[in-house]
Amino acid sequence: MPLIGASYGARLGALAVVLYLVDGAAGLPVYAGATGGVARLVGPTGGYLAGFVVAAAVVGWLAERGWTRRLPAALAAMLAG
């Protein structure tokens, strides 16, 4: 998910990941094992999936500030995400 943030920026990257979570909550089989449903968001993996939104936003914010122009900084941004 950090790559989405680096590609789209903070706001659009976070929105794309939120829409991915909404698709899964609606029942589309987008999660591991071709599963979906609200149970994935409120179960043990819910916090992990919510972290995708934060990771995309953080990396997108860093990308908007030029962190993805050089390889060492881009790697640091991806690790931060």
- Taking only the tens place, the pLDDT of each residue in 2-33 is 889 999 999 999 999 999 999 999 989 988 88
Report whether pLDDT(35) > 90.
no
Q: What is the mean pLDDT of the chain?
A: 90
Q: Is residue 29 a contact partner of residue 36, using CB atoms and an 8 Å limit? A: yes
The CATH number given to 2-80 is: 1.10.1760.20
- Taking only the tens place, the pLDDT of each residue in 47-69 is 888 999 999 999 999 999 999 89
The DSSP code sequence of 10-44 is: HHHHHHHHHHHHHHHHTT-S-BTTTB-SHHHHHST
CB atoms inside a 10 Å sphere around CB 80: 13
